[in-house]
Amino acid sequence: MTRILHPVPLTEAAFAPFGTVATLPAAGQRVIVGPPENARPAVPPRLVWSRARAATLPLAVTTMERHACSSQSFVPMGEARWLILVAPHAPGGGPDMARAAAFLADGTQAITYRPDTWHHPLTAVSEGASFAVLTFLDGSKEDEEFVAVPVGLTVAL
């Protein structure tokens, strides 16, 4: 049986179990995105410039990822809408897709995933979008983990 998950607007309160939200400030002001977290002191921060492919909804979810030792911040570099899909840990390991949550963000919202947070790969909605991504990477297998999730969850507007 397929579960349909409808994204809700991204808010600080709703996203709090998974990380933080920063909203683009007014002209002449600034906001801190983060805070960055790193459990491996010898691993340096990396600023990555990424281009998310466009996805159309409904979207069948097939993959989730996590960064066990590092936070990961995403700052959109435009006004495109983007999908954020997160899940808590399942009792036996991996993401608990039955308790997944979906959010719809716009180009005025940045997020930081806490370390060890299961999330869907970066996904723009309707059109491609560019992002600045801050994370801690050293090229080891501890940088990131990707898992296939059973068919059965679809994100739709």
**4-51 residue pLDDT tens:** 999 999 999 999 999 999 999 999 999 999 999 999 999 999 999 999
pLDDT bracket for residue 106 (50, 70, 90): very high
Say if residue 136's pLDDT is above 90: yes
Asked if 103 and 8 touch (Cβ cutoff 8 Å), the reply is yes
CA-based angle 32:34:40, to the nearest 5? Answer: 135
List the one residue out of 119, 88, 90, 126 whose CA is nearest residue 103.
Answer: 119
Looking up tokens 């940045």, which residue turns up?
A: 110
Q: Please state, as a whole number, how many other Cβ atoms lie within 10 Å of the Cβ of residue 1.
A: 3
Looking up tokens 């299961």, which residue turns up?
A: 118
Q: What pLDDT sits at residue 152?
A: 83
Q: What pLDDT sits at residue 96?
A: 95
Which secondary-structure segment (H or E) carries 91?
none
Q: Is the pTM of this model over 0.75?
A: yes
Cα Rg of the chain, angstroms: 15
Say if residue 150's pLDDT is above 80: yes
- Average per-residue pLDDT for the chain: 95
CATH 2.60.120.480 fits 3-155, yes or no: yes
Q: What pLDDT sits at residue 79?
A: 86
Q: What pLDDT sits at residue 151?
A: 76
DSSP 89: B
Task: Give the residue extent of every domain in the chain.
Answer: 3-155
Inter-CA distances, 24 with 52, 78, 101, 140, 152, Å: 20, 11, 23, 33, 35
